[in-house]
Amino acid sequence: MRQLWLIALAILLNVGAQLSIKLAGRTGVPASIFQQILNPMLIFAVFLYGLSFVLTVRIYSVNELSVVAPFMAACTFVLIYMVGYFAFGEPLTLSKSAGLAFIAVGMFFLLR
């Protein structure tokens, strides 16, 4: 894979966007859709997703889509799992851990 630093940055931006969405939702359901759209954390999430999207376009243009897209998704899953545990106290269950182990094994075969 080429441009690994861009891949890592795109993944981190995507994870940051998902974290921002989670934080935006913790403020409760707003009275109107307009208030929800103006939620600063939600605006920040859209900004981060936008940056991640632009980087992903560049990443896809210079790498094999069939390799880099699953790799980026797998890394995002693992990081979200860790963020959920460390930032929000979400449980580490056997089934979640097994799912991530299967993803890791799949990435091993895909990247060979």
pLDDT for the residue 91: 95
* Residue-level pLDDT, tens digit, the chain, 112 residues: 789 999 999 999 999 999 999 998 877 666 677 777 788 999 999 999 999 999 999 999 999 999 999 999 999 999 999 999 999 999 999 999 999 999 999 999 988 8
Question: Are the C-beta atoms of residues 78 and 8 closer than 8 Å to each other?
Answer: no
Rounded to the nearest 10 degrees, how much is the dihedral formed by the CA atoms of 31, 34, 36, 42?
A: -170
Q: Per-residue DSSP letters for 7-46? A: HHHHHHHHHHHHHHHHHHHTT---SSHHHHHT-HHHHHHH
